Structure 1
Amino acid sequence: MSTLQMIVLVTAGAGLASVLAAASLSLTLLAKIVNNMVSLSVGILLATAFLHSLPEAFEIPGAQTHYLFATLLGGLLGFFLLEKIALLRHSHHHEG
């Protein structure tokens, strides 16, 4: 069996297994898990983006690494605080 056939077979098997696992879980359990999975996937995407873009930023001639790290840290902290403030008053209880 060629390498390409093995890749296609394993990918199809993993896709089928994930669909079967999702179908076997109840909707209430899925509702609890989805928020954590979305957070995990966003974190992985951000980490991948930073791991690919930061080395290129440091290769720029004359780049000030302290300012790059300060900007990165400030952006992450800013978005963290923005999310916390947005969720502070969030509830599913409707007044009235």
Structure 2
Amino acid sequence: MASANIVTKEQFDEVCAALWSEIEYQNNLARRTDDSEALQVPSYLTLGQVYLNKAAEDWALNAGDELALHGLRKVAGIFVRGMVYCGVRNRAPVIA
């Protein structure tokens, strides 16, 4: 069994599948207008923060984690979309 602070490939794949379902959901949402959608890094950070605050409130006001986990998936989807549209940056290798 993996350590609690190590993410396994299987766990990562499960998260990616859930994240893809969120991206597909977001892809099908009606767009307000082209000029009012998140287009730059600050837009995604702001949108993510709004939904992060909602997820925190859902956790604080409801028993269990279910609503907050829904929000966590939504926030992850927003940030993945921001990386896709604004640019993906890989972490630089750590030199020991």
- Greater relative contact order (CA < 8 Å, ≥ 6 in sequence): 2
Task: Give the TM-score normalised by the residue count of structure 2.
Answer: 0.29
More helix by share: 1
- Report the TM-score, using the length of structure 1 for normalisation: 0.29
